[in-house]
Amino acid sequence: MIATEFPLWATLPASLLLVIGGLLTVIGSLGLLRLPTFFARMHGPSMGNTLGTGCVLIASMILSSALLHRPVAHEFIITVFIVIVSPVTAMLVMRAARYRTRVKEERRQQGLQREQE
């Protein structure tokens, strides 16, 4: 299936990292389905985002270095970008979720009061 031959020193760690990264990502996304509340579900994908992506990108780095016969590190930029960006996403999504649950709760209580009157 794969077009070119890779040396042994590249295939062994790359395969290991790919298997670990795939498992971590799939468990993280499974958490998106299994965990009960939204705030608990926030934690599932962050597994795949950090260590899963990191493993796959390191494997990609190893393989493309072996392919081009010189060290290639441009996958490193994606890792750095995701690490820098993930708190911004998490903070905004979290703030939106808290705001929406608060508004919903207030509306529900207003509805209850109106029913009692």
Interface positions, 70-109, toward other proteins (CB under 8 A): 72-78, 81-100
Nearest distance from residue 78's CB to other proteins, in Å?
Answer: 6
Contacts of 90 (CB under 8 A, 6+ apart): 42, 46
**26-55: contacts with other proteins (CB under 8 A):** 26-35, 37-53
How far apart, in whole angstroms, are the C-alpha atoms of residue 105 and residue 27?
A: 32
Distance in Å, CB of 113 to other proteins, minimum: 23
Q: Of the two residues 8 and 113, which places its CB atom closer to other proteins in the complex?
A: 8
- Count how many residues are written for the chain: 117
- Asked if 112 touches other proteins (CB under 8 A), the answer is no
Nearest to 10 by CA among 74, 80, 75, 69: 69
Cβ nearer to other proteins, comparing 71 with 117? 71
Residue 53 identity (one-letter amino acid): T
In whole angstroms, how close is the CB of 109 to other proteins at the nearest point?
18
Q: Shortest CA distance to 91 belongs to which of 35, 46, 27?
A: 46
